[in-house]
Amino acid sequence: MGDLSERRVQLALLLSFASGVLVGWQANRLRRRFLQWRKRRLQDKLDAAQKKLDLA
């Protein structure tokens, strides 16, 4: 452990933090896109069901 310089440790911490932020950001974007898709799909199903009821 003595051969690891403080600079290398700081660089490793910074790199791991930055990668965690990047992965979290991408996961949040993916989650929002999924929720938008699900909302659109459910809205389309609701519209179809209402149209069927109106025709009945």
How many structural domains are present in the chain?
A: 1
Structural element, H or E, at residue 32: helix 6-55
Q: Is the pTM of this model over 0.85?
A: no
55 vs 33, residue with greater confidence: 33
Residues in the chain: 56
Query: Is residue 14 included in any domain, yes or no?
Result: no
Reported as a pLDDT band with limits 50, 70 and 90, residue 1 is low
Distance CA(45)–CA(39), nearest Å, equals 10
Helix (H, G, I), strand (E, B) or coil at 6: helix
Residue 39: half-sphere exposure toward Cβ, Cα within 13 Å: 6
Dihedral of the CA atoms 45, 46, 51, 56 (nearest 10)? 100
Query: Is residue 55 included in any domain, yes or no?
Result: yes
Task: Dump pLDDT digits (tens) for 21-43.
Answer: 999 999 999 999 999 999 999 99
Identify the pLDDT of residue 2: 60
Q: Give the residue numbers spanning the domain of 48.
A: 27-56
